[in-house]
Structure formats: C-alpha cells, structure tokens
Chains A and B, each alone.
Chain A
Amino acid sequence: MKILNIITKEFLLASRSGYEIFMPIVYFLIIIIFFNISTSYVEKVIMLELLPLMIWISCLLICILNLETIFKEDYDDGTLEMFLIKDDEIEFGILIKILSHWLLSNLPIVIVAPLIAMVLGLDTTTTLTLFITLLIGTPTMSLIGSIAAALTISLRKNKILVSIIVLPLYIPILIFGTSAVNNSFFKMNYSVELTLMLFLFFIFLLITPLACSKALKISLD
C-alpha cells in the first residue's frame, strides 16, 4: 500500500518533469555511438572485447550523473523535513525512494544496454552476463550514491562532492562487473565475481537506509 503510494508519486512526478526522464537513455546512446565511431578503425574482435566494458563504464557514469537528484527535490520543497519528522518507517521510505529512482533512471539502461550490445554483435552468453551484472551492479551503485547524496544534500552545489565521495566506492563494483563480463567473453568462470557483487549489494541494502536516514537528519539539523 505504502510502497505503491510512494512509487506512483515518484512516477507521476517524473512523468510531469518533461523530457528529463529520457536523459539517462539519451546519454547512454550518445556514449555508445561515439564509442562505435571512434573504434571503427580497430579490428572488430578488439571492439567486441571492449564493448561490454565500455557499456559498464557508461552505465556507471550515467549513474553518477543523476545521483544528487534522489533527495534534492524533496529537500528543496520541504517534503523531506515533514517526511523525517512524521514517518514511522523512515528507513523503509528511503529504500522505496531509492528503488523508484533506480527504476526510473537506471532500469531503462539495464534493459537497453544488452540489446544494443547484441545489435553490435556481442555473443549471447556475454550479453546475458552483461545484463545480470548490470542488474546487480546498478542498484548497488544507487544505494551507495544515495548515502553520498544524503550527506551533501544541504550544500547548494553538491554534484562534484557526490561524485568524489562515490568514486572509491564504485571501483570495486566496476572491477567485479567488468571482470565478470570479460571472463564470460573468454568463456571463463565468473561465479566468484557475481557472488561478490551480490554480497556488496546485500551489504549496502542493509547499510544504506540507516546511513541515509542518519545523514539526512544531520544535514537538516
């Protein structure tokens, strides 16, 4: 009931905010097109080897780009204050907010990226690995990023600071994600990487709501 309430609200707001909702996917397409043009001089095999890694990097970049929007609007119009005072399940509410942010800004890429990879000639197994790693990796990045966004919410220009805070925390995910995809490309075992990624996801699923609610309270103090 409450989950649906928050998610429908976020989706309604996103649908009214105009073309902004398409920004992640447009950025993603731009990066892929540029990548394709600039690698048209190298051999196809090398390009295909780089492609899944490139997709991973672009997903990570786009994820960083729209991080600070998670709580920004709520902070600006005062909804956040009321939410933090009144709500009995702050942590749960924050988790739902992060979920709807992920659904709106990351899930489209997670779906489109493997399709594009297929079109560009990547084999099915690697495409599947790419899809799975993105499906685990991007929510983890949203979770980590929302802690940084919550910490810096009261600063007027927090984009740079958020990016710097999340950078070291994103590196493990990037390493595991790209390593899994790369192993899959060369028909090697990648279950270790997947396990570690799942482990990171669950760790941050547990930590983030608590850390966010504390950070938001401190920022609003």
Chain B
Amino acid sequence: MDNHLIEIDNVSLLRNEKSILENISFQIKKSKALNLYGLNGSGKTSLLKIIVGMTEPTSGFIKNISGDEDLFKKTIYIGHKYGTKGNLTVEENLSYALTINSKNSQLAIKKALETYKMTQQKSMLTKNLSHGQQKKVSLMKTLITNSLLWVIDEPYSALDEESINIFNDTTKEYLENGGALIMTSHKKIKEPFFTTENYKIHS
C-alpha cells in the first residue's frame, strides 16, 4: 500500500433527492495523475469537494491510507474560484499563500514567476490581470508549497497553449518526485503527457 494516498470507498451523494454521484470507488496513487471526466453537471466538482473534505458524502468513505495523518493539510485545492485576492499584487498573493514549512520562500516565488513567465506582471494587482493570468497565479501556488497532493478543478480552462505546456511540464516533474494529482476535465486524456489514469463519472 506504499504508493497509495487516498481510497474513495463507495461514495454516493444525494442532493435535493437527486442522485449526483453513485457508488464511486477508486484509489489515488502516488506519482500518478487521475483525470475525472464527464459531462457538465455530472458531479466532478462535487467529487473533488468530497475528496478534500469540504462536502460530506451521503454514504461511503474517504480513507486516508497514505500513513501520513496530515495528508489533507498538505493538499492544495484549486477550485472554480481561484483564491487570489484582486487587491493584492501577484507577488503578494503568492507570499500570503506560502505555508510555514516552505523554505527559501522568496526564491520559490521568483522561480514560480519565472516558470509561468509572469515576472513582468509581479507587481500588478491581480484584479487588473486577464482571466487566464489569474488562473496562472493560482496554479503558481502549487509550485511554492510542499504538498503531497494537488487537487485542481479544470486546470486547462482559461489557459493558452503555452501555459498548458508549462502546467504539463511542472506536473510531470512533480509526479516524478512522488506527488499526486487529481484533476477534472470534460474529456478523456488520450495522449497523456504524464502518467494519467482516466475515470469517467456518469451522471
């Protein structure tokens, strides 16, 4: 069980007497990306929220089988809302997102800015950036914290091709170093850039 992080055991979710998720079971493994795909409204985001513990499932369990009690605290969640403050600059947003255990923080921020090619915009207020740039700021948070798991809702939405490549590169490196990723998208990833497992969610 060494390379397993989380077991999703028979999870179902009912909302307003309508079944949104039904008997979903899978495991999240280290060094692997898991792509949850399905139609709009099939419950991808709800499942992510269940995994990170924001929503309680109607039945079923989320089991932490990684052996690390703090797994969920070492998880980065990027949802539909990016979690960036419009009235802070890019750099300030990143520095407030830092966790205490991250060392060489200023260096990490500088590196993240360079990776996503945002160094020029680092002193701009986030609200003045475009939608895609704001998304990049939130994705940069994954690079500056030491996390065991990334949970990202629609990482590719609003990104241009160059940024998608950057995200793929950083994810690949992260997975090779033992990280794990859960993401959602509208379609199955047929030519994976990194080790990807696809899981279809039926509505």
Contacts and interface: CB of A to CB of B under 8 A. Distances in A.
Interface of A: 1-2, 5, 9, 12-13, 16-17, 73, 76-79, 81-82, 84-88, 217, 220-221
B156 interface: no
Contacts, number: 61
A165 to B, nearest CB: 24
Interface of B: 52-56, 70, 72-73, 75-88, 92, 96, 99-100, 125
Given A77-B82, A78-B79, A79-B85, A221 B92 contact: no
A85 B125 CA distance: 26
Contacts of A78: 79-84
A86 B81 contact: no
Given A5-B96, A77-B85, A86 B73 contact: yes
The A interface, classified by DSSP as helix, strand, loop or mixed, is helix
Given A9-B96, A85-B54, A77 B84 contact: yes
A221 B24 CA distance: 19
B81 A85 contact: no
A13 B85 contact: yes
B53 to A, nearest CB: 6
B13 to A, nearest CB: 11
A79 B83 contact: yes
B150 to A, nearest CB: 12
A85 B88 contact: no
Given A5-B96, A12-B92, A220-B54, A85 B77 contact: yes
A13 B39 CA distance: 38
Contact of A77 (B55, B76, B83): B83
Contacts of B54: 81, 84-85, 217, 220-221
27 contacts: A12-B92, A13-B85, A16-B87, A16-B88, A16-B125, A17-B87, A76-B81, A77-B83, A77-B85, A78-B79, A78-B81, A78-B83, A79-B84, A79-B85, A81-B79, A82-B77, A82-B83, A85-B54, A85-B75, A86-B76, A86-B77, A86-B99, A87-B73, A88-B70, A220-B54, A221-B54, A221-B55
